[in-house]
Structure formats: C-alpha cells, structure tokens
Chain A
Amino acid sequence: MQVQAGRIGEITEITAWDQALRFFSFKDPALRYALAGAILLGLNCGLLGSFLVVRKLSLVGDTISHAVLPGVAAGFLWNMEKDPLAIFVGATMAGLLGSFMVSRLTATTKLKEDTALGMVLAGFFGLGICLVTMIQRLPTGNKSGIDKFLFGQAASLGGSDIYLMASVAFLTFGLVWIFYKELLTVSFDAGFAHCVKIPVSWFHHGFMLLLAFSVVIALQAVGVVLVSAMLITPAATAYLMTDRLHRMVFFACLAGMLAGAMGAFFSFLGHQLPTGPFMVLSAAALFVFAFFLAPRHGIILRWWARRSRSGRVRRENTLKAVFHALEQDGFRREGVTFMTLSKLRRQTLEETETASQELRQAGFATLPPGEKAVYLTPEGMRRAQTIVRNHRLWELYLTDAANYPPDHVHDDAEEIEHVLGEDLVRQLERQLNFADHDPHGKPIPTPEQMVSLHGQDKSASTGSLGYAKPS
C-alpha cells in the first residue's frame, strides 16, 4: 500500500498496534476501498476458482491471468490513460484469446495441454512486457502506473474500480446461482451433460468469459502474477473441507474473502507492504490450516482416524474370533484359551497375547493371571455380538438383495462390518425382514440377545444362539 505508506510516513513512530486500531476504525477512505476490493475479489475468485479446481483447470486460470497483460497495455494505448473500461475490455479480450489459443493448440497439434498452457502464458506475457516497456518509454507513459498491474496496488483502488468489481462479482454470483446444476454436470461429466441437452461448449466459453472478467478486476488489487493464487488456493482449501460442490463453493468464497481481508489488514500494519502478496500468503495460511486440520481430508485427522480405525479393526477382529470360539463350544465355556484363539486366527501365541492385551486395555476382556485365557467382559461380549451381527447381516444382504453368490460375500463383509453404522444396520434388518440366519446357516445375534455372559438376562439361553449359562 504505497499510497498509504506515503501518508503514514508523515505520522512518525506509529506502532503496529495503533495501526491495527486505525484499521478497525475504517476511517481511512483508501483503506475502505482497498478492503472492499479485496473482499469482492476473494468472493469472485472463490466462486469461479472452485469450478477450476474440480475441473482440473487450475492452471488455465494462471494462463489467462498472464495472458491479459498485452490486453491491459492495448487498453491503455486506446486513449493513453488508465481508463478502467478500456483496460477491462482489452484485458478481457486478451484473456479470451489466450484461452482460445490453448484450445486450438491442443486440438490441432500433438502438443500436450501443459505445454500449450505454458506457451500461451509465456508468449502473451512476453508480448505484454514488450508493450509495457514501450509504453513506459513514452513521455506520458512513465506516469501511467501501468506497471502497477504487474503486482497490483489495492491502495490505489477508487470508487469506480469498486463499482466495477462489485458488478462483476454480482454477475458471477447470479450466473453461478442460476446455472448451478448445469455447471455441476458440465464440470463432473461433460459427455453426460451433452446427453442431457446442456449446451456444453456454451457453458465452457461463458465460464471462460466470466473467468477473464474476474481476472481483470482482480488485476488492480493483486496483479497479473498473483491472481491465479486467489483463484486456486481458496478453492483448494475448500476442496479439503467438504464433499459437496455447493458447500465447496461456499467455503471457497469464505476463504477468499477472509484472505482478502487478512491481506488488507497485514499490509496495512507496516509500510511499503504490498497487499496482493499478503492476500496470497493469507490464503496459503488458510490452506495450510485446512491441509492439517480439515475434518475428513486433513492429514492429521486422517492419520489419527487411520490409526484408531486400524486399532479398532484389530480389536474387533480379535473379539470376533473369541466369539466364534465360544460359539463353536455352544457357549458352554466362559473363557477362550490363547491356544484356541491363536489356532483360529492363525497367529503365533505371542501375537494372540498382544491382541488379548489390547482387548483388556479397551475394557473388553479380562485376562486372569496364570490362566492363559481370555474372558470377555459384558461390554466385550456386546461388542463381539454386534460385530458378528453386522458381518452376517451384510453377508445376507449381499446374497439376498444384491445377488452375490454365498461363497463370495465373506471378504466383502470382512471390510464392511467395521464401518456399518446404526442406521444402516437398522435399514438392513428391515430390508431382510429381520432374518435370523446368515447365508452360511449360522444364527445372527439379535439385539434382544445382546447380553452379557454373566447372566443378567435369562432370555439369552432361549435364543437361537442357544448359549447356556457358564458352569
């Protein structure tokens, strides 16, 4: 914010804290414009960037943002002054020409898409640099401020720029709102979109036009080079946060606006700090946050979930083996020796002991000293029954409803049993008419029998499982 900095320089010895307070008083008109511009830009980039990221077109945004430079220069040459409208038109046309060139190059030559993107990006940018240096050498050109388009200068935004940004943001928002279902279908599966009579190429070119608009309005705030960051990073952040596109678009707008506001704030704190790069760094900080902490795709939670899930699956498999051993005995005995268990699970005795220790730690079993056997606690018994029940219900579902051959279903059920939730189990029961035997003819433990071996519930002995009270 160089304009800002110039004025702040006169106020001597201003601390970051005072500066922060000044920021939140919103008294400075230049600051208000800069902040509004940054937020509008974040909104706009978030809206379009989401579709770019999910369509794997992220670098098309980058290419278009570099390709607008000659258009900016041409718009300037139109009447030799920084006329927002002329620059807007010129830049949009250059951006569209760039996107058109990429599609021509990939369609008519054997060059790969990345090469085509890189060539258009650099070729247009080279042309733009030539024009810009030529303009700067003109007598009037030096004061033009055209070089500000390279890195942007949010502080120089004026009222008319904000109106332009607001109208583009409004247009983008409206179009995305109206055509959301078409955009979704085209982005997910263009061939299918064609089949349901959506004019795919119209949508594609319309989207590119909007993209060019947004890149152009973002130029003044973040500059040619960093616009792509505002398109990609907030959208990628949102991509990690959710599994539905409409939520992703929402989060991307939120992240974009937040990054814009944060960029304006941080660059306001010191002097000579450029706003654009700070916006990009703020967006990156949000991305890092999501990268580690996003609910389902963040790596910390995923690592944690994987760890706890593999532990749970291991414990449940042991529980299941204990249950099977008990079942083989007709539930006459209360405990299962390590020897039996290790044979059943095809493990060494040590492995079985470790697995049993894990059960004990989780409160599912007791291991009386000196007995070398596992005794399930009531809680453990309940869990074991649940897991066996899930497994057998799922096997039945696969054979009955999904027509799997019975010899085929065990492995599938092995994986599914650990992840079936309460609702799904209830749905399965209903669909299977509360069947009581699995496809291999073994009884399915039912909720009424979910009792401990310690005999609080007598009905257990009369159930189809038919297990007797331990002697």
Chain B
Amino acid sequence: MRALIPTWDWHTIFVAPWTTDFAIYGWIFLMGFLVCAACGLAGNYLILRRMALVGDAISHSVLPGLAIAFLAANAWRTGMAAEVNGMVDTGGQEPGMIHGFAMFTGAMVAGVVTTLMIEIIHKHTRIKQDAAIGITFSTLFALGVVLISVYADKVDLDADCVLHGEIAFVSIQPFFSLSGVEIAPASVVLMGLVAILTLGLIVVFYKELLVSSFDPGLASSMGIHAGFVHYALMCWLSVIVVSAFEAVGAILVIAMLILPGATASMLSTRFPVVLSLSLLHAAVSSILGLHLAIWLNSSTAGSMVVAGAGLFGLVWLFSPSQGLLRRWVWLRKNKRSALQAESLHPPYGC
C-alpha cells in the first residue's frame, strides 16, 4: 500500500506545477480543461435529450472510423508516393494534414453510421433502444479493436490509448506554429478550436438546439428540422470525441460528456446557468484531477474523471434542491419511514 500511494509533498503536488514545471503542466491543464469544456457543453444536450448513452455509443464507435481512416490515409499516401516516384515530401505538415482530415472524416462517418444503425435496429425490429445501442457500439468497438490488432503496423493507435488516452503527451508534442510564431502544442490548438467552435455553435443555434431537444414536434412546427439537428449534433459530437480521443481515450470521454452537465443540473434548472456551471465543473475537475494525478502518479485523464465524479458526489450531498443532506433533513422532519419503504420501490423505476 505504501508503495502504491506516494508520499504527500505539498510543494511537488501543488506549487511546482504552477511555477517551475508550468511549461509542462500548464499545457496539460489547458488540454484537460478544453476537453472537459467542449465535452461538457455538448453533453448538456445529450442529457437533455436523454441520449447520454448514445454519447457512450459514439465514443466507442469512432474507433473503427479512426482505424479505417488511418488505413485509407496511409494507402493514399503510399499511392501518391508511388505515383510521383518517391518525390513526395515525407516531412513537414503534409502527412499530418492528411491524417487530421482523414481522422475527422472517419469519426463523423462513424458517428452517423452509429446513429443510423441504432435507428435501423430500433425501428425495424421490436428491439428497444437500449439494446440497439448496446449491440451497435460493442460491435463497432470490437471491429475497431480487430482492425487495430490486425493492422498494428499501419495504424498508429495502441490499446491503452484507446481506453484511457494520455493527456501528458501534449507537453512533448511539437508546437503548432503560425508564420514562425510557436503558439501551442498542435493538439491543444486543435482542441481549443473545437471547444471555441462548440461554444460558438451553441451561442448561434441556442434556440434551435433547445427547442428541438425539448420538443421536436414544436421544433418542426417552427420550421426547424429536428432530424437534421439530431444528426448534426451527432456529427459534431463525433468531432469532439475524436479530438479528445488522444487525450482521454474512448471510454473516459463519456465521463467528460456527462459529469459536468449532470453536476450542473443538480444545482440549477435554468439552462444558461447549467451551461456555465458545467464550464466551471470542467475547470475545477481538470485542476483537481491534475494535482491528483501528480500526487498518485496515475493516469491524468482517469484522475480528472475521479475529480469530476468527486465534485458530483459533493453536489449530490449538498445540493440545495435535490441534495441527500436536504432530503435527509426533510425525512427527519417528517419523521416518516419513507427510506425504509423505499426499498420496495422497484429499482430503476421499472
């Protein structure tokens, strides 16, 4: 046990990351925050539309999309190379660009395919949506894992990265430079762009998103195509998931998607407030997670999730409207055996 939990050292855990090692941890924190923020913002809509587990499905099924995209990009590049007889510049930005483009296309296609498959299974048979989600994402994920292991030499993805990613890699990445000025590590720039775009899209299409999430019927009467909004959201979700993929992996993404929104919704019922609270949750959980990871020398993304879950736990206890504490006080005040009787309540409301 002592070997497992390193000694508590205030300086290395809390001071050093923000002073001497800021060049490393600053970027890690920023990346973590950007991932949590982009995911958290989009996740609010998933929660609102009761599609939290569709988010889970998409985060798993981008894997085969990515694998196929990498394979296709590689094939295309080697094809190009053969065509111009080895004249292609193998260094520089070119392959990265191709890979990046392929990656996003692959992810978006995977997102749409997942959504379509779930719908087809759900609509054409009597299988319910939950089972349809389960079948779709597990199959696609298995396909992804098989592709990765069969073409291990051609696909630059390893199993660990798929499961929990590694945020710390951002600090050793080459910087993205614009006209000679080095700005930030490439994936931080990318994630930043995605996060800002997410915020921008939410601001611009605030009313369309809200109405179509709340009441698709009303949305269509207002001339908003609810089906289109649905697919657009799924597409954008895939983009977010794929940009976060390297940092947090396929499964922890789901935590980043749901935890901020769920925590925020325990504290407020007004949607704009919920959106800003989920940003706050993203920031706090990435700072706390970072320190936790430094202390325990554990996976950074995993620690951020643990921190986020811890925050949720606190809110669950102390939320003024639905907190356990308030509930307990209420039960005490009423002096009634509600808790005991609740054990009869069919679990999961079924």
Do A and B touch (CB < 8 Å)? yes
Do B316 and A57 have beta carbons less than 8 Å apart? no
Alpha-carbon distance A137/B3, docked complex (angstroms): 10
Q: What's the least CB distance linking B304 to chain A, in Å?
A: 8
Alpha-carbon distance A372/B150, docked complex (angstroms): 69
Check B87 for interface membership: any CB of A closer than 8 A: no
Alpha-carbon distance A229/B135, docked complex (angstroms): 6
The digit string for B175-190, where 1 denotes a CB below 8 A from any CB of A, is 0000000000000000
Do A123 and B139 have beta carbons less than 8 Å apart? no
Check B301 for interface membership: any CB of A closer than 8 A: yes
Q: Could you tell me how many residues of chain B have their Cβ less than 8 Å away from some Cβ of chain A?
A: 78
Check B72 for interface membership: any CB of A closer than 8 A: no
Check B282 for interface membership: any CB of A closer than 8 A: no
Q: What's the least CB distance linking A5 to chain B, in Å?
A: 10
Mostly helix, strand, loop or mixed at chain B's interface? helix
Check B115 for interface membership: any CB of A closer than 8 A: no
Do B149 and A287 have beta carbons less than 8 Å apart? no
Do B138 and A125 have beta carbons less than 8 Å apart? no
Q: What's the least CB distance linking A419 to chain B, in Å?
A: 19
Check B55 for interface membership: any CB of A closer than 8 A: yes
Contacting residues, chain A, for B207 (C-beta < 8 A): none
Do A291 and B149 have beta carbons less than 8 Å apart? no
Check A190 for interface membership: any CB of B closer than 8 A: yes
Closest residue to A100 on the B side, CB-wise? Answer: B347
Q: Which of A224-255 contact B (CB under 8 A)?
A: 225-226, 228-229, 231-233, 235-236, 239-240
Alpha-carbon distance A430/B347, docked complex (angstroms): 48
Do A129 and B342 have beta carbons less than 8 Å apart? no
Contacting residues, chain A, for B138 (C-beta < 8 A): 62, 225-226, 228-229, 232-233, 280, 284
Contacting residues, chain A, for B126 (C-beta < 8 A): 239-240, 297
Assuming A121-B254, A150-B159, is B142 touching A226 (CB within 8 A)? yes
Chain A residues in contact with chain B, CB under 8 A?
Answer: 53, 55-62, 66, 77, 102-103, 105-115, 117-119, 121-123, 125-135, 137-139, 147, 150-151, 190-191, 194, 200-201, 204, 225-226, 228-229, 231-233, 235-236, 239-240, 270, 272-274, 276-278, 280-281, 283-284, 287, 291, 297, 299
Task: Enumerate 30 A-B pairs (CB-CB under 8 Å) in ascending A order.
Answer: A53-B127, A53-B128, A58-B131, A107-B345, A107-B347, A109-B316, A112-B47, A112-B50, A112-B52, A113-B349, A114-B52, A127-B306, A130-B306, A133-B164, A133-B299, A134-B296, A151-B159, A225-B141, A225-B163, A232-B131, A236-B135, A239-B127, A274-B146, A276-B145, A277-B141, A277-B142, A277-B145, A281-B139, A281-B146, A299-B125
Given A60-B348, A233-B139, 12 further pairs, Cβ under 8 A: A59-B130, A77-B1, A117-B52, A119-B309, A126-B305, A138-B4, A147-B160, A229-B142, A270-B150, A273-B149, A280-B139, A281-B143
Chain B residues in contact with chain A, CB under 8 A?
Answer: 1, 3-5, 47, 50-53, 55-56, 60, 121, 124-128, 130-135, 138-139, 141-143, 145-146, 149-150, 152, 159-160, 163-164, 251-252, 254-259, 261-262, 265-266, 292-293, 296-299, 301-306, 308-309, 312, 316, 322, 324, 327, 342-350
